[in-house]
A and B are shown apart, each in its own frame.
Chain A
Amino acid sequence: MRIGAIGEEDAILIFRAIGASAVPAITADQITAGLHRLYQDGVPVVFITEAAARLVPEAMQKYDQMSGMAVIPIPGIRGSDGYGAQRVKESVIKAIGADILVNQEGNEG
């Protein structure tokens, strides 16, 4: 099965070079529709730029609960804005009740 990519054209065009289905989308509606189409096509992994992911929190939450498709935020053309890390942090807080990754970083630094 192919992988997918969605977000600003600048950032995802490169995914087309490695054979992913790249869907350029800028507005929230376009992104939601693109995600839906990829889901319908049975794409198991979709990389979404962080800027695009921020625009569609409901869709992100919806696909998080489904095991059929993984939507993974990746940094866009301007580099990472911390959304991806933030998402993992939220799931840690949800599961454990405290952010254990902070301590880890503290030990490293």
Chain B
Amino acid sequence: MAVLHVNPTRMELTGMKRRLATARRGHKLLKDKRDELVRRFIILVRENHVLRAKVEEELGEALMDFALARAVMEPGALRQALLYPAREASITVGQRSILSVRVPEYHISEGSLSKSRLPYGMADTSAQLDNAITTIANALPNLIRLAETEKTCILLADEIQKTRRRVNALEYVMIPQFEDTIRYITMKLEENERSALTRLMKVKSMIEQRTT
């Protein structure tokens, strides 16, 4: 029994009852928050799992083509071909709030999605390089979506852990402590009352004895 260090008075008892009510309400709210966070987290993590598999496959393809291109082309020529990109992989960053956890939202800018724009002429480059670049350009939306879900998952996981700790602290430490303290104060007050009563009865009987 964990009793807080308080004076067993009626005022403390009222205060303690109020704190218990607040703790109970906070506990309920946090528990709801935790459950909802977990629900969203699971949805996101499943999506992330599928996306990652897809992206890894696409990237694997692109990189394989790229490796072939590197084997066929001279390193200098390859570097030169990629020196100035024809498209800009640019994104705009927004912010969304999932139960007051701020998570980023990425949108690809229009220009990044235009297809078949290779940053070089056809003469000095191999076909594998074209393939590699087209594949990765097509994979870009998925890559960005993967980045978004993965970051969100990690931020949510942090928040879930924090919330769970708070819920547990309230459920297993704070609330039992308050309950025990309330019981302790009530019992102490009742005991005082009983002793006062007994004292009165005793005094009364003594006075009666003296008068008779």
By a beta-carbon cutoff of 8 Å, the part of chain A in contact with chain B is 1-3, 10-11, 13-20, 44-45, 47, 64-65, 67, 70, 72, 74-77, 79-80, 84-85, 87-88, 91-92, 94-96, 100-101, 104
A2-B82 contact given A79-B60, A80-B60, CB 8 Å threshold? no
**Which A residues lie within 8 Å of B48 (CB)?**
88
A92 touches B82 (CB 8 A): no
Q: List 9 A-B contacts (CB under 8 A).
A: A1-B91, A13-B78, A16-B85, A17-B133, A70-B148, A70-B151, A75-B60, A75-B63, A80-B60
Segment at the interface with A among B1-9, B39-47, B174-182, B197-205: B39-47
Is B90 a contact of A14 with CB atoms below 8 Å? Answer: no
Give every chain B residue within 8 A of A74 (Cβ-Cβ).
55-56, 59, 143
CB neighbours (8 Å) of A101 from chain B are 45-46, 49
Q: Report B's interface with A, CB cutoff 8 A.
A: 37-38, 41-42, 45-46, 48-49, 52, 55-56, 59-60, 62-63, 66-67, 70, 78-79, 82, 85-93, 102-104, 106, 112, 118-119, 132-133, 136-137, 140, 143-144, 146-148, 150-151, 153-158, 160-161
In the complex the two chains form, what is the Cα distance from A95 to B46 in whole Å? 14
B132 touches A14 (CB 8 A): yes
Bound Cα distance A65, B162 (Å):
13
Contact A95 B133 (CB under 8 A): no
Pair count A-B, CB < 8 A? 135
**Nearest-Cβ distance from residue B199 to partner chain A, whole angstroms:** 57
Closest to B132 in A: A14
Q: Nearest chain A CB to B39's CB is how many angstroms away?
A: 11
Question: Taking CB as reference atom, which chain B residue is nearest A14?
Answer: B66
